[in-house]
Amino acid sequence: MTFQETVAHLQEKFGPEAILSSEPQGLQEMITVSVDRLADICQELYAHEQCYFDLLSCITGMDNGPKEGTMEVIYNLYSIPFNQPLCLRVMLERNAEDQEAPSVPTVSHIWKTANWHERETFDLFGIRFEGHPDLRRILLPHDWDGHPLRKDYKEQEKYHGITVKY
């Protein structure tokens, strides 16, 4: 399927409200989807025989800062048989005063690689992945304060008596 056919297929299957935008230009074709339909859309992209996005290359988070009040989760997919890349994005609102980030559904039941990618995004951004089988820190110690890639992150002075700031 071409990018436009993929977008049309998803709109037909999930309704036009599930696809918030599509960007065929740029470095990689991107579809912004509603967070409540994310897991269903991912399952369709994986299971549909004309799409078959069998590889989840990366999940990344992005904090657009307290002023914007949004965070993003970006999924880089690839269909090996069709030699087709695709980028999915969900936009998340967050309260600047709230240190706890919003959540998205896990896709670790679709692509096993999502398990570690989601843990890394949780660890560094604090974004929760609902339904994840083992959502805990993967890069930082379990008792680390905060999430270092958030724009509002404040470095700790000390960690277990060791000076952290340099």
> What would the two tokens of residue 92 be?
């998340």
Question: Tell me, what's the pLDDT at 95?
Answer: 67
In tens, the pLDDT along 74-128 reads: 999 999 999 999 999 999 998 656 556 789 999 999 999 999 999 999 999 999 9
Average pLDDT of the segment spanning 63-83: 94
Report whether pLDDT(26) > 90.
no
Per-residue pLDDT of 124-147, as tens digits, reads 999 999 999 999 999 999 999 889
pLDDT at 73: 98
Domain boundaries, given as residue ranges, for the chain: 3-163
How far apart are the C-alpha atoms of 108 and 56, rounded to whole Å?
10
Identify the pLDDT of residue 161: 87
Contact at 8 Å (CB) between 103 and 112? Answer: no
Pair 96, 102: CB distance under 8 Å: no
Identify which has the larger pLDDT, 164 or 91. 91
**Per-chain mean pLDDT for the chain:** 92
The domain made up of 3-163 has a fold known as Beta Polymerase; domain 2 (3.30.460)
The string of pLDDT tens digits covering residues 38-49 is 999 999 999 999
Phi and psi at 47, nearest 5°, equal -85, -25
Q: What is the mean pLDDT of residues 143-159?
A: 89
Per-residue pLDDT, 97: 61
pLDDT over 80 at 34, yes or no: yes
3-state DSSP assignment of residue 126: coil
